[in-house]
Amino acid sequence: MNLQKYALIVCILLGGCSPQLDDLKAYTAQVKASAVVHIEPYPEFKSHPSFSYDAHSLRSPFIRPKDKTAPTLKVPQGRCLQPDFSRSKQPLEAYGIDALSFSGQFSANGVDWALIQSNDGVLHKAQRGSRIGLFYGTLKHINKTTLIIEQLLPDGAGCWQKKEATLTLASMAGEQ
In the beta sheet, which residues pair with residue 10?
Answer: none
Other CB atoms closer than 10 Å to residue 38's CB: what's the count? Answer: 4
Look at residue 40 and give its three-state secondary structure. Answer: coil
State how far Cα 121 lies from the chain centre.
Answer: 14
In the beta sheet, which residues pair with residue 116?
Answer: 102, 124
85-119 tens-digit pLDDT: 888 999 999 999 999 999 999 999 999 999 999 99
Q: Give the residue extent of every domain in the chain.
A: 91-172
Entry pTM: 0.53
135-161 tens-digit pLDDT: 999 999 999 899 999 999 988 888 899
Half-sphere exposure of 131 (CA within 13 A, CB side): 14
Computed on alpha carbons and rounded to an integer, the radius of gyration of the chain in Å comes to: 40
**Residue 164: pLDDT above 90?**
yes
Q: Which CATH architecture has domain 91-172?
A: Roll (2.30)
